[in-house]
Structure 1
């Protein structure tokens, strides 16, 4: 699809360099290319062309060895990833190899990575929600972390801009704590979800249950096909129905003729010129040959994902930045956040045995935050809040090993009873001592320092989780479900795969790494718009905010470039 710079020495200088091709990197590439900049995208892993390289997109369980399970060799290769429960034969090629990419856990932390063109945009859950001023003002109001340098009004038009291009399906609610997006028609709740929704909203004032807002097309959009309800999204969608860099932003960037992608490019550091007072390019290691190569550009977007971006900046040392590029504040690598996850309740729903649903909808329900949104809902147990995701469904009919014959074969084709579950996502506060650091004692296969991760959920997050489980049980019991069970997997950070905060935005260079336009305070031609830039974590999925921040920052970057300010 694109101009692939496989032989790096053919062209070494560009207008812009983008490190990473995931959700935010893809948007940076699109915006910069469309504004006329010759842009080089550096991708750590291989090329994955839309449709062409989705090798498992049509596989059924019987098409896979071990019915989709991993072999012992594959389990060894993904010895940390498999803790998530998401790595199977159908997706393991999209998850980074733990053996080649080691990291050290000072405390338990699951770091899930996608090293290929498109990154984790091929694997994400696609839940897309706007943040509100409840989120952007939280740090200033309760004193945790530092104040965001922006407010909702600054990013609101950019939310609309990216939503119109990406395609977000959902329904409007008019809630101040969850601003409505520019929506395509929503997916439909099934009969049990409608039943539970009615009971919850009737019995709990201020609680709403809606279909999830997702980056899935419910009608054709911008040349892409609508969702076919196969729920095989993480294998790559041949219809382009969900948002990924491969299906959406990178093709748009390529259409300009300004895009070059170089795969197998491990970015070692951003090069800073002390005399010029700005960055001049990046130094990469070719993952296949181990050759060290330098590329030059006027502006640089570092979008390698929250931990990898901080890793690159910490490794980018010069006389001016002895502790890492942009680290005058000492905050680089600190304030690591993730959402709490896998806590909630599940129960059985009686009746509806004559009802079913069509397809495998790749979406569920959402219950927006209802705690600590105003004085009436204020809690004295914790600060911030949580929301719920979940779904209603029918499982399989459990096979009875004593049965046999035609009746047995007929029985296993009949669906089981209805169940409904909800699981909470709670906000994690920005703690300075939740951090990453360079580990020079453990090197990767290219001889580079790896990361040591030292982070944990603390008392506020535990209090939120306790409330999540209590509320989940109460709502399901009140809704009439039977055999309701609360659960809390008590997992460490990382399982939410919403890492944020390691190069945070802020108003003061003494306490933050980036300014209000995502520029490194002391190196204005370096931008960070992935999860590393986040100043707090909210309790809603962050990827839509990354998209909007990236489009906004790219617009500012080109404007400043034209004015010769960077």
Structure 2
């Protein structure tokens, strides 16, 4: 596509990894630990663990506007500011929407961070396994295509990932939420324990547990990391390594091998296909600082550039063999985009418990696993699949005293006390894989580097709308059953992208005619190219997906290393 001079880099690598986020970090670690000389590319700036976390220790009084958003900064990030995790202490991780534009045929909130570590620095850390209820769902109800794997195929890789990253939580013995290698769970507070008890008393199909979070607890040793300090400042970057990120964990592990060459400011835009050999030969990049175009050769390529990033690169990678994008024989590349439903739920005031408080700022909440459409007994007549809830209870702050009819000494005393308790929860629901939920490339509107921008044509359908209604209704019902007061349901319109769980644009499947990737995450027709980020997902389930991305990546990288060693011996 780009006709400018392209310099070929002299070193030939065993592998190239595009992206350094959740998936890219794992690909780098596994490939390097298997002895492969690996070039790791990231389109963004370098971020070094600890030294490049500028707000990690800041308190509100250290911030220019005492923690409130500056309208000038907000104006630069109108899309990014729709994310609940963006604020004055984290805005430096998020892109400038005007420098990195995209196009919305239908509304889509694309939340991004372009830097080494990607969204592994910004994620909410909730880590749940998928089960065969999820891997078999498409085949059973006829939506999308069948996953080419089952739980038994990925279970040992979940084990490996959880052990390495450190996931705290509680095993429950549920078939639809498989147990894991979990460290000491964080504690529920008194109101959450009361809610847990009331759910048990009033419902026979649902339970409440502490969230499973990639925050390190317990006695296990994780090199270069210490336990979570309960600061709840994870999104800033943790100087203690208390939560998992590529920067604190997988990239240092890859670097320790001596096999990794990390190159930031490298915008990968095309994977080159060798017609004679029938494989990919390397990756073309634009140096984000110098604008130089460079071609890097390698035997294996892992695209971990995020769901939309990987799909964009594959769609730009055109050749005589693949005129519609690398590996796009099925025509499914860019289609079947999913995101989780979010924003729906309920909140309430909690009376009593005035004598109780909690220690620290727990970076985690409670979780209510899916209870809809698990079997015939739990089948819902209005929608397929299901949802889970995440939430928390906490005491309001001293600011509650400002609304009281007091002054003088009484006012001072009120401001020294915490306010009343509140509880809230929101659902994460599964989106079905619809072929016409898609992205395309816009060659009429180019970005600053001359590359096509992305058009989004994605929307939630009737199944998702009805599920959202049930999420709100059941949240209200549970809070009322617990005896909480002033229960308020919430069901605003949910725009795809806002859950930051976009996935599915290069799905796995059995058949090359209906999918892009095989059971090992290889492109069907180009077996030395692997895609292991969210683009590979065949269905979305309702669980947070990052743990599954990591497990699939570890599995694929070890498969690639074995194939590489086999071929080099032959």
Place the TM-score, normalised by the shorter chain, in its bin.
over 0.9
Q: Aligned pair 1:400/2:402, yes or no?
A: yes
- Aligned match of 2:125: 126
Name the residue aligned to 2:292. 291
Instruction: Tell me what 2:453 maps to.
Output: 450
Per the alignment, residue 303 of structure 2 pairs with 302
Find the aligned partners of 2:126 and 2:402 in 1 and give their Cα distance. Answer: 38
Instruction: Provide the secondary structure at the position in 1 that maps to 2:40.
Output: strand
Question: 1:113 Cα shift?
Answer: 0.7
- Summarize the Cα distance change of 1:311–1:10 in structure 2 as closer, same or farther, 3 Å threshold: closer
Where do residues 431-446 of structure 1 align in structure 2 (5 Å cutoff)? 431-446=434-449
Contact 1:139 1:145 in 2 (8 A): yes
Q: 1:333 to 1:127 in 2, by over 3 A?
A: same
Structure 1 spans left out of the alignment, 5+ residues: 1-7
Are the equivalent residues in 2 in contact too, given 1:12–1:294 (CA < 8 A)? Answer: no
**Counterpart in 1 of 2:314?**
313
Q: Which 10-residue stretch deviates more, 511-520 or 489-498? A: 489-498
CA contact (8 A) 2:157 2:554 kept: yes
Task: Give distance in 2, aligned partners of 1:10 and 1:457.
Answer: 44
Pairs within 5 Å for 1:343-354 = 343-354=344-355
Counterpart of 1:377 in structure 2 is: 378
What secondary structure is seen at the aligned counterpart in 2 of 1:430? Answer: coil
SS at match of 2:310: helix
Q: Report the 3-state secondary structure (helix = DSSP H, G, I; strand = E; otherwise coil) of the residue aligned with 1:37.
A: coil
Structure 1 segment 91-240 matched on structure 2, within 5 A: 91-220=90-219, 221-223=221-223, 224-240=225-241
**1: distance between equivalents of 2:71 and 2:91?**
13
1:135-168 CA-to-partner distances (Å, cap 9, x unmatched) read 0000000000000000000001110011111111
The separation in 2 between residues aligned to 1:382 and 1:389, in whole angstroms, is 21
**Counterparts of residues 542-553 of structure 1 (less than 5 Å):** 542-553=545-556
| CA–CA distance in structure 2, aligned partners of residues 533 and 553 of structure 1 | 12
Q: Answer whether contact 1:280 1:296 (CA < 8 A) is retained.
A: yes
What is the distance in 1 between the residues matched to 2:239 and 2:96?
Answer: 25
For residues 42-91 of structure 1, give each alpha carbon's deviation from its aligned partner in whole angstroms, at most 9, with x where no partner exists: 01111111111111000111111212234343223212111224322211
Report the alpha carbon displacement of residue 399 of structure 1 after superposing the two structures with TM.
Answer: 4.3
Aligned to 2:4: none
* Superposition deviation, residue 495 in structure 1: 1.0
- Separation (CA, whole Å) in 2 of partners of 1:282 and 1:206: 51
Native 8 Å contact 2:8 2:296 kept in 1? no
Kindly report the root-mean-square deviation, in angstroms, between the aligned alpha carbons of the 2 structures: 1.5
Aligned-partner SS, 1:31: helix
Q: Secondary structure at the match of 2:133?
A: helix
> Matches of 2:376 and 2:401 in 1, distance apart?
52
1:461 CA drift (Å): 0.4
Q: Which of 407-416 and 437-446 deviates more?
A: 407-416
> Secondary structure of 2:475's match?
helix
CA distance in 2, matches of 1:430, 1:533: 12
Cα distance, 1:407 vs structure 2: 4.3
- The reply to whether residue 515 of structure 1 matches residue 518 of structure 2 is yes
- Give 1:254 deviation, angstroms: 0.5
Contact conserved, 2:25 with 2:246, CA < 8 A, in 1? yes
Structure 2 residue aligned with 1:415? 418
Deviation sequence 1:97-148 (CA, Å, 0-9, x none): 2111100011111000111110000000000000000000000000000000
Aligned 8 A contact 2:9 2:295 in 1: no
Partner of 1:367: 368
Candidates 468, 472, 475, aligned match of 1:472: 475
* Cα deviation code 1:201-226 (max 9, x no counterpart): 11100211000001011135313211
Give the secondary structure class of the aligned counterpart of 1:356.
coil
Deviations 1:391-413 (A, max 9, x none): 11111132437865554344223
Counterpart check, 1:262 vs 2:263: yes
* Cα offset, 1:559, TM superposition: 1.1
Helix, strand or coil: the match of 1:560?
A: helix
Structure 1 Cα separation of the partners of residues 44 and 69 of structure 2: 21
What residue in structure 2 maps to residue 4 of structure 1? none
Distance 1:323 1:556 in 2: 27
